[in-house]
Structure 1
């Protein structure tokens, strides 16, 4: 069975708006992994905000795109700065995109931690990291590093 394709339809827009509202009020969503990610639009230069999940593994924090190469991925690739907010707390991070070998265990951890995203992956929860490495080009992973900004 092939992974499901992501489509930002009316239902997903509504869910994102509800989750975004909860996160903006400081309420935890998906445990403590939910944040509002703000990036600078690569074409418009305007701020773009979307709910995301940040996972911790290997002593580091990671931003994963479970739904593929979406707008915020393009924006991070162009600008390299992510602002993560929950409630009144905002953190600024510099990001570095991980290669497939580095991304594999992060993707595996992500699918195990947030199983709602599993249908968007060909690799399954119990698969070895190599199966997730094969998906790294479709599910970008970014390491978060504290920014001096």
Structure 2
């Protein structure tokens, strides 16, 4: 597993319009293609931090992928070891285990198949049809967590 510093910060429109819209809908129980609100305790403050995420399910297992890289929620997840997925009034506590880089290519491929239009720009030209070698090359830049509902 890598903890490299790759981060692609969201722009104003994403922060102030898209993320707020997806979070607003998720709080009201509306999921867009698997979206949820992720809540994780801050590693320094201990306060709940929230962000919209896409929940990926592969072979019956659930995963959270960080398309923008090693962002705040990934650091908090490593420290907390889990969090909550929220959709409407439903709150699902979970534990999280970070997936090693060598296990990521199939998961990144599945993630890109589903959400490439939304997140493809963050994967340096790698897409769902790219060779495994390309997916392995970008794997260290994109944390992936296997989640288990508590």
Structure 2 length-normalised TM: 0.89
Look up the match of 2:123: 121
Spell out the pairing of 1:1-149 with structure 2 (5 A cutoff): 6-14=8-16, 15-29=18-32, 31=33, 33-115=34-116, 116-122=118-124, 123-147=126-150
Question: What is the aligned-residue RMSD (CA, Å)?
Answer: 1.3
Tell me how many residue pairs correspond in the alignment.
Answer: 141
**Residues 79-101 of structure 1: CA distance to partner in whole angstroms, max 9, x if unpaired?**
11120000011111100000112
Task: Deviation per CA, 1:58-115: give whole Å up to 9, x if none.
Answer: 2211100011111100000111112000001111110000011211110111011001
Shift of 1:41: 0.3
Runs of 4+ in 1 over 3 A off after TM superposition: none
**Structure 2 CA distance, aligned partners of 1:7 and 1:28?**
23
TM-score (norm: length of structure 1): 0.89
Q: Which structure features the higher share of helix residues? A: 2
In the TM superposition, residue 28 of structure 1 has moved relative to its aligned partner by 1.7
Q: Which runs of 5+ in 1 are unaligned?
A: none
Matched residue of 1:104: which SS? helix
